Amino acid sequence: MDNDANGVTPVVMLDIASWRPRVDAAEVERHAHALEAGSVLVLPRLAFELAPDETRFLDVRWSDGKAKNISLEGDAIKGARGTPDELAALARMVTRFAADATALVSALFPRYSPHLTRARTSYRPHGAAGRAVSWRKDDTRLHVDAFPSRPNRGERILRVFCNLNPDGEDRVWRVGEPFEPMARALLPRVRPMLPGEATLLAALRVTKAPRSEYDHLMLGLHDAAKSDVGYQRECAQREIRFAPGTTWICYSDQVMHAAASGQFMLEQTTHLPLSALYEPARSPLAVLERITGRKLVV
Ligand code: SIN
Ligand code: FE
């Protein structure tokens, strides 16, 4: 696919069909450069195989109907309903994906490997569209990921996704403009963090730790993009279709993304510190510090 105006290739295809591939050093450099520049790495031949008794989980009835996703944090499966045996089998499937996705990231990017923190794994049995209760939670609108209750102080959010759809349905994303022009366009609308705000939110347990100014600005960008219908319609964007059996990887704190449609997907979130990156100067923290001219994490 063509470069866009800012020199970021939105999609880079990887001809890899193993969760534990051997990758030579030149390929590692090429993939890392693309990923950290804000490309989505797409592996159309890397499916997550379900065991015969796991195909039953491709059904919304396993959702508890309250949570948006079924998720695994540590050993606990949340947002699902079923008998203890069924929930244990579902947890085994999601755990296997967590191990595969983490192994894939380590194999593709050996420099990351010792620094990776595995966070939540989610299984998304609901359709991507039509569940949003508010514009802020509406992931069919373009956004960068930022977590309101979990400040990350510039740590990266790297996500691995896999489309499991059994009926041939693609997961369809829209991907927006690169991080820097998005931030330059939307930052003027983000209100400054108030003195004492971070301490107060942490004391009230709205956040699990005090927000840095970086976290405040990232949430502000998330909200500014999602709340602006004109921006959603008019900003530079393109559609990407992920067929069933496709895995894809991106920095979701950097890539403007929106899930337009699709059903049945697994997703693994990992965090890594800036010091693990091949090119830290391309991170959202470095870009925002360049734009604002000040340190955003102290
Ligand atoms: C998101 O991470 O914003 C949604 C991704 C998806 O559900 O495909
Ligand atoms: Fe997102």
What is the predicted pLDDT for the residue at 1?
44
Q: Residue 161 CA: which ligand 1 atom is closest?
A: 8
Determine the residue type at 180.
E
Q: How far is the CA of 146 from the centre of ligand 1 (A)?
A: 13
Q: Residue 143 CA: which ligand 1 atom is closest?
A: 3
- The answer to whether the beta carbons of residues 259 and 171 sit under 8 Å apart is yes
Q: Tokens 């979701």 identify what position?
A: 252
Predicted confidence band of residue 265 (pLDDT cuts 50, 70, 90): very high
Protein residues near ligand 2, an ion, with CB under 5 A: 145
Partner residues linked to 122 by β-bridges:
71, 267
What is the predicted pLDDT for the residue at 96?
98
Whether 87 shows a pLDDT value over 50: the answer reads yes
Nearest-ligand number for the alpha carbon of 170: 1
Predicted confidence band of residue 130 (pLDDT cuts 50, 70, 90): confident
Residue-wise pLDDT tens digits, 171-225:
999 999 999 999 999 999 999 999 999 999 999 999 999 999 999 999 999 999 9
State the alpha helices, DSSP H only, in the chain.
Answer: 25-37, 84-108, 179-186, 197-203, 213-227, 229-234, 284-292
For residues 37 and 6, the model is more confident at 37
Sheet strand arrangement including 171-175: 238-242, 171-175, 257-261
Q: How far is the CA of 178 from the centre of ligand 2 (A)?
A: 15
Q: Summarize the confidence of residues 97-108 as an average pLDDT.
A: 98
What is the predicted pLDDT for the residue at 172?
98
Q: How far is the CA of 294 from the centre of ligand 1 (A)?
A: 31
Q: Percentage of residues in the chain with pLDDT exceeding 70?
A: 97
DSSP states of 3-60 as a string? --TTS--SEEE-----SS----HHHHHHHHHHHHHTPEEEETT---PPPGGGGGGSSG
Determine the residue type at 206.
V
What is the predicted pLDDT for the residue at 33?
96
- The answer to whether the beta carbons of residues 79 and 70 sit under 8 Å apart is yes
What is the predicted pLDDT for the residue at 74?
84
Predicted confidence band of residue 290 (pLDDT cuts 50, 70, 90): very high
Compute the distance between CA of residue 274 and CA of residue 268 in angstroms, rounded to an integer: 19
Per-residue CA distances from 86 to 27, 35, 70, 89 (Å): 41, 37, 13, 5
* Alpha-carbon dihedral angle through residues 84, 149, 34, 138, given to the nearest 10 degrees: 80
Rounded to the nearest integer, the mean pLDDT of the chain is 95
Model confidence pTM above 0.75? yes
